[in-house]
Structures are given as structure tokens and as C-alpha cells.
Amino acid sequence: MKRVSSEIMRRFTSALTATVVLMNLANAAGDLVWFNGRFDNREGRASERNTQVSDARTYEDFSLPSGYNQVTGLLGQFYLTPELVGRPVYWEIRQSVSRGTGGTLIASGTQGGATYAVIGSGFGFTIYEIRMKLDTPVTLASNTVYWMTMAPVGNGGGRAFVCTTSGAGAIGAPTGGINAIFDSQSFDFSWVPVADNFSYGVQAIPEPASMLALGAGLAGLLGLRRRARK
């Protein structure tokens, strides 16, 4: 009986160790679970802070797929002037955004350390994909609609426009649908629908319950393998 209990504990420890490793790997980056599509070089919409414009934000709606409940990173494809390359990024995640209302602010912040990768050019601007890992993951419900924005933060100059997309390379849901919202005191717009889609994305990690289920599955596989050997 003692040997059986010891074997069970050993299997559980092995599975738990594997689960912790997998969770650490997921926390390092997260999966790209929603992406509204690659830039189409058609248009852009202001999404910026403290540039030549004091404040403008363009939002898109997204949801996390089943099994995911923590947002670890955001990305956006932007037309940028040189002054904004490498600058901190302001971000928000909201719920229940609609015409005339910003709904409920779930989380927001301004962070440095985002990566800026050149992915194209257009209209006299260089197009950058900005990727940022959130300092603290944001816990959300899966299969629920939320809204996100990103806005490079300037030092009193430059411009930033999030790129429109026709949906090429889109991942997850919802994508398309022309559901964007624009809010800017600078331009005297208050939560106004926009007839375009924009190149934003969300990275997330699986919820702990899913990782533990994976660990339990690993434990079962270990048991089957040992029984097969005997």
C-alpha cells in the first residue's frame, strides 16, 4: 500500500511539474488568440496621446476563445512618424462600449518596452507592428465581447494612425463587422462608430483549470505507459 501511494505521488509530482513548466512558457508570451487582420494600406485612424494631438483612441472588439482567460499582450499595426518609434504605449481594455458610451473600463496603463518592427510603408509613413507584453496579465471571461485600444505616447510631436484591415490573416472572433469605435476630445468625437476595421491583436494564456486538466492528462498517460511496460 505504501509503495502504491508513493507511485501515485510520483506520478502526480511529474504531471504537476510538467504543468508548471507549460504555464511558465505560456506566461512568457501567450498565444495570439485574436487578430483582426493585416494592414491593407487603405487608410488609418488616429490612435495616439500627447502627439500633435492631445488624445485620440480607436477601439476594436474582441473575445477570448474557450480555455483562455488571461490577456498577456497586445499588438497593433500603425502608420508612425519617426518621433514615436520606441515610445511608451497607452492601452485600455473595456466592456460594453457602444455609440455614445465608453462602457466599463476593465484595465489600462502606459508602458515602455514595446517592440516596434517595420512591416511596410504607405502615405509617406513607415508602418510598424507594435507588440507589448502587459506588466500584469488581465483576467477576462472567455467568449465575452471586450474592446481594446493602443495609442503610442509622444513628447508633444509626431502622429500615429492605427492601420485599417480587410481581414487578411485574421484569427479568432469577432473579426470584421465594422465594429470600431472612435473617441477623442481633440477632434470633438465622443464614442462614435467607425465604418472600418483596424489591425489590432490580443495574446492570452490558458486558464489555470485548463492547464491542470492537461497535467491530469499527462498523469494518465504516464500511468498507461507504465502499465504497458509491465
Q: What is the CATH number of the domain that holds 80?
A: 2.60.120
- Mapped onto helix, strand or coil, the DSSP state of residue 47 is coil
The pLDDT of residue 173 is 86
Q: Does residue 15 have a pLDDT over 60? A: no
Report, as an integer, the average pLDDT of 27-50: 92
Check whether 71 has a pLDDT greater than 90. Answer: yes
Say if strands 68-80 and 104-111 run parallel, antiparallel, or are unpaired: unpaired
Write down the pLDDT at residue 42: 97
In a domain, 170, yes or no: yes
In a domain, 96, yes or no: yes
DSSP per-residue letters across 117-156: EEEEEETTEEEEEEEEEEEEEEE--BT--EEEEEEEB-SS
pLDDT at residue number 212? 46
d(CA 72, CA 53): 28
* Crossing angle for the helix pair 2-28 and 208-229, to the nearest 10 degrees: 140
In degrees and rounded to multiples of 5, residue 19 shows phi and psi of -65, -45
* Sequence-separated contacts (24+) of 108-113 with Cβ below 8 Å: 109/134, 109/135, 110/153, 111/135, 112/87, 112/88
Tens-place pLDDT, residues 106-122 = 999 999 999 999 999 99
Do residues 146 and 140 touch, judged by C-beta distance below 8 A? yes
Task: Report residue 223's pLDDT band, with 50, 70 and 90 as the boundaries.
Answer: low
Please give the C-alpha separations between residue 204 and each of 29, 35, 99, 109, in angstroms, as whole numbers: 8, 12, 27, 17
Is position 7 within any domain?
no
In a domain, 216, yes or no: no
Q: Number of folded domains in the chain?
A: 1
Burial 124-150 (b: 16+ CB within 10 A, else e): ebbbbbbbbbbeebbebebeeebbbbb
Assigned domain for 212 exists = no
**Predicted confidence (pLDDT) per residue in 158-193, tens digit:** 999 999 999 999 999 887 667 899 999 999 999 999
25 domain-assigned: no
On whether residue 21 sits in a domain, the answer given is no
User: What does the alpha-carbon distance between residue 201 and residue 167 come to, in Å, rounded to a whole number?
Assistant: 12
Confirm whether 217 is domain-assigned: no
pLDDT mean over 5-29: 50
What are the φ and ψ backbone dihedral angles of 195, each rounded to 5 degrees?
-85, 60
Query: Which residues form the domain of 117?
Result: 31-205
Q: What is the mean pLDDT of residues 17-42?
A: 72
Q: Is the dihedral of CA 180, 72, 104, 66 positive or negative?
A: positive
pLDDT of residue 5: 59
* pTM reported for the whole predicted model: 0.81
- Predicted local distance difference test score (pLDDT) of residue 207: 78
Helices and strands in the chain: count of H runs, count of E runs: 2, 14
How confident is the prediction for the chain on average, in pLDDT? 86
pLDDT at residue 92 above 90?
Answer: yes
> 220 pLDDT band (50/70/90 cuts)?
low
Give the pLDDT band of residue 226 (cuts 50, 70, 90). low
- Give the three-class secondary structure for 191: strand
